[in-house]
Structure 1
Amino acid sequence: MEEIVLPRDRQERRDWLQDAGVHAVAAALNRAGAKDCARAFRELPAGKALPVFSRLEPPAQKAIVEDHEGEERKALIEGMAPDNRARLIAYLPEDRAQSLLESLGEEARALTRQLLAYPEQSAGRIMTPEFVRLRPDMSVADALEEVRAKAERAETIHFMPVVDEDMTLVGTVGLGQLVLAEGGQSVGDVATRDVPSVETKTDQEAVARLMKEADLMAVPVVGEDGRLVGIVTFDDAMEVLEFEQAEDIARAGATEPAAAPYLSVSLFGLVRSRITWLAVLMLAYALTVQVLDAFEAQLEETVALALFIPLLIGMGGNAGTQSVTTVVRALAVRDIGTADALAVAGKEVGAALVMGAALALAGYALLIAFFPPGIALTVALSGLAIIGFAALSGAVMPMVARVLSIDPAVFSSPVVNTVIDAVGLVIYFLIAKAVLGI
């Protein structure tokens, strides 16, 4: 995919903003700095401004909102879908968000506050309350008239909930079903029954996974009383999955996910996202130092042991990374659950022991030509034991995190590797003590 960059030359930029598609412009503004983003947005043709603004990420929207005042700003905010408007308001500082809310019209303010009342990263936060709702006793002809009357304000007309007078979900119907049905049929006869739904407090990732697995364009959202309050559409679900994937990748690299595109993150924002993890890992690596200090006498007696520390620790780290990456991903896509912990641990350790045995035999055959038999045997047995322990750690730690309601991605490669480093050294020196008698 070709990289989209905002032209620096003023006339060239204006020509490009005039001709480029809405998605291309939004992609360019998301990557631009705050000042460049606000300046370029001012140069957009009037008919393109709102569609572009609605597709921007909150940092770019914030830059534009701060560059507008009065009716201009109000028109931009009120023109957004309620769920996107709530996301922007939640991103802004509290005083700024409150001021912006108060400037909105009564309906837009009420819808936004309704969504903001739900917990962060819940179905209630990402749902839209603007949709076409149909009754089961309506004729198909009347339903089509209802669609025509309300389509402009609805998030989608390809998925419409069917509810009774108490707003209890009866089923769903798509526009295609209505078009193909006879005009005299009732909506209840055409509707799909027993459709999955979620509650407002359901985690947004669970909602997105459900939609992906069930191949749904949208999913109804009900309150605690079982009444329909909104729908989550496919585009919002994909954004959630993208965010969760970015979060897992960031934590796997011992950092926190950025809340904005890379170039929009300040230097201190980048530092904040990384320094905590570095400090924690620095303290954790102190365990490795303590282990080396405890076995200093053995190292002094057999200096050759020190030569193989990087090799063994590196092997253990790689084995741990393989296991933890596999297990975290399997948990994320629901291939496995915590009930499968023993099976997963057994499979990972089994695979690790097979690989470890093969590497240990190859290593022993190589080392015996250059080092005493005791050293070669110590290194070979240590490699086998460390790889097995590393695989066990990588399999079990994400499972434990899930049981404790912690994101399994927190137990990323650096965290697992730190544990493996410390324990791996203990294993190495204990085997050396047993084999070499030191």
Structure 2
Amino acid sequence: MTDMTVDDSAADRLESALSGRIDRSAMDTVANLAHQVSLPELTRLVHTTTPLQSAVLFRVLDKDGALAVFENLTPSYQADLIQNLREPEIADIVEGLDPDDRAELFGELPANVTRRLMSGLDAEEREMTTAVLGYPKSAIGRYMSPEVLSLHEDWTAAEAMEVVHSRIDGPETVYLLPVVGPGRVLLGVVSLRNLIAADESTVISEIVRDSISTHALTDREEASRQFLSHRLIAMPVVDEEERLVGILTMDDVLDIVDEEDAEDIARSSGSEPLDRSYLSSTIVRLVRSRIVWLLVLAVSAILTVQVLEVYEDRLDQVVILALFIPLLTGTGGNTGNQAATTVTRALAVGEVRVRDLGRVIWRELRVGALLGAVLGLLGFLVAGLVYGWAIGLVIGLTLLSVCIMAATVGGLMPIIAKRVGADPAVFSNPFISTFCDATGLILYFSIATAVLGLS
């Protein structure tokens, strides 16, 4: 408890020192405080301060500490930080990164900076980094580690262990070892545990087992979800000819899934994801992430206003109908959003595929009918007792219809988005809410016209 209190206090004082004027004495203070702060706290401070303040903090960290903190930053924030570091400091950090992490960083930097940093790498590191950069940003090959320790099928366990010992410090992981044949064609994998347990004379081909692999051009989220669904510790990556080109590890998969989930959550609420922490984002960046969606939704909401204008004469005849508009539009939007969120998640984890469209529509139609029956009965009783049974019948039938429509549309839209190659999250909550508002009002006034005999 005492150590934690000291660390928190030092972190607060370090944050305060970084926020003030930085001169020689201030740099000494920052250096002294930085040595009292834990690595997670240093990472948090670098991630939540401005790039210039972060650069000041970086300059007082030793090489290992700076690299450890740098690896925990998002690529976009790494790129901002690079702009404020001196060339020797940048070279040391870039050289210490794994090829896949280095490729992510280079993807965020200007071309001239990337060329300069690439020229400072040795030939082997440059070749591996170039190989990863050759894949599209959306492909899993961009996030694999090309530095993979593979075994040949005709080696003995003793020979394989000798290779593992000699190259233990190079690869990102040695817990799962791909086995290759002629031309580096992937044959399977051997776990380090099984290799250690095998008799020294055992040939690798005798203990190899089938592996779950992915193609280097596979979409990064699809490959990551497959990785997690099979509870893997590593997964070989192959090219079109099934040749081993790299390996995907758990830390890379978790980063991808976190980024994709953050993007889905942001877009489902009508905004763009931030590429850096909230506190270190400028006001302009925060506004930019939200304004486009607000404008789109504002324009689309005009449809709802036009629907009300069309049925204005019905409202004049039965003013009481206006009281229930928020209830009905809110119920439709919430029902649609629930269905969309459920189906979007099912698509993400592979539980639902595009070809399941018919099954999803049929399920959501029944779910919507049951939800609508419960809410409609409740609405009929409450509204009927207070405003008369004719109004109660209008409200009950509208709730039933709106729930069926909203649940069906909510389940349908993410699959359509997936089919046309769009992000299902974009098609979900914001647009579904607007669609259900307008369509729900049309259903509401149509039912009211029929039941109450309006003209």
What TM-score results when the alignment is normalised by the length of structure 2? 0.90
Name the SS for the 2:246 alignment partner: strand
The residue number in structure 2 matching 1:115 is 132
Deviation at 1:72, TM superposition (A): 3.0
Counterpart pick for 2:320 among 304, 318, 324? 304
The residue number in structure 2 matching 1:153 is 170
Pairwise CA RMSD: 2.1
Instruction: Please tell me whether the aligned partners of residues 37 and 63 of structure 1 are also in contact (alpha carbons under 8 angstroms).
Output: no
Q: Is it true that 1:376 corresponds to 2:392 in the alignment?
A: yes
Instruction: Please tell me whether the aligned partners of residues 247 and 256 of structure 1 are also in contact (alpha carbons under 8 angstroms).
Output: yes
CA distance in 2, matches of 1:291, 1:338: 33
Cα deviation code 1:139-192 (max 9, x no counterpart): 211211111211111111112211123111122122212211111212222222
* AA in 1 matched with 2:405: F
1:88-127 aligned at under 5 Å gives the runs 88-127=105-144
The residue number in structure 1 matching 2:147 is 130
Counterpart pick for 2:190 among 158, 170, 173? 173
Decide whether aligned partners of structure 1 residues 64 and 284 sit closer, same or farther in structure 2, where only a CA change above 3 A counts.
closer
CA distance in 1, matches of 2:51, 2:416: 42
CA distance in 2, matches of 1:358, 1:158: 54
Deviation at 1:56, TM superposition (A): 2.5
Deviation at 1:115, TM superposition (A): 1.0
Instruction: Please tell me whether the aligned partners of residues 77 and 275 of structure 2 are also in contact (alpha carbons under 8 angstroms).
Output: no
The residue number in structure 1 matching 2:287 is 271
1:276-291 aligned at under 5 Å gives the runs 276-291=292-307
Cα deviation code 1:378-425 (max 9, x no counterpart): 122112111211111111111111121212111221210100000111
Deviation at 1:327, TM superposition (A): 1.2
CA distance in 1, matches of 2:243, 2:186: 7
* AA in 1 matched with 2:411: A
Q: Is it true that 1:358 corresponds to 2:374 in the alignment?
A: yes
The residue number in structure 2 matching 1:246 is 262
CA distance in 2, matches of 1:322, 1:13: 49
Q: Is it true that 1:141 corresponds to 2:158 in the alignment?
A: yes
1:30-429 aligned at under 5 Å gives the runs 30-192=47-209, 194-429=210-445
Unaligned runs of 5+ in 2: 18-27
CA distance in 2, matches of 1:174, 1:32: 42
* AA in 1 matched with 2:70: F
CA distance in 2, matches of 1:364, 1:150: 74
CA distance in 2, matches of 1:19, 1:156: 32
* AA in 1 matched with 2:93: L
CA distance in 2, matches of 1:18, 1:89: 30
Instruction: Please tell me whether the aligned partners of residues 15 and 45 of structure 2 are also in contact (alpha carbons under 8 angstroms).
Output: no
Instruction: Please tell me whether the aligned partners of residues 37 and 60 of structure 1 are also in contact (alpha carbons under 8 angstroms).
Output: no
CA distance in 2, matches of 1:94, 1:277: 31
Deviation at 1:26, TM superposition (A): 2.5
More divergent stretch after superposition (52-61 vs 3-12): 3-12
More divergent stretch after superposition (54-63 vs 385-394): 54-63
Instruction: Please tell me whether the aligned partners of residues 316 and 387 of structure 1 are also in contact (alpha carbons under 8 angstroms).
Output: yes
* AA in 1 matched with 2:408: L
CA distance in 1, matches of 2:89, 2:376: 70
Deviation at 1:291, TM superposition (A): 0.7
Unaligned runs of 5+ in 1: none
More divergent stretch after superposition (163-172 vs 99-108): 99-108
Decide whether aligned partners of structure 1 residues 56 and 372 sit closer, same or farther in structure 2, where only a CA change above 3 A counts.
closer
Decide whether aligned partners of structure 1 residues 54 and 362 sit closer, same or farther in structure 2, where only a CA change above 3 A counts.
closer
Deviation at 1:348, TM superposition (A): 2.1
* AA in 2 matched with 1:433: T
Instruction: Please tell me whether the aligned partners of residues 154 and 205 of structure 2 are also in contact (alpha carbons under 8 angstroms).
Output: yes
Cα deviation code 1:214-247 (max 9, x no counterpart): 2211111111222111111111011111111111
Name the SS for the 2:322 alignment partner: helix
Instruction: Please tell me whether the aligned partners of residues 162 and 191 of structure 1 are also in contact (alpha carbons under 8 angstroms).
Output: yes
Name the SS for the 1:91 alignment partner: coil
CA distance in 1, matches of 2:302, 2:81: 47
CA distance in 2, matches of 1:367, 1:64: 61
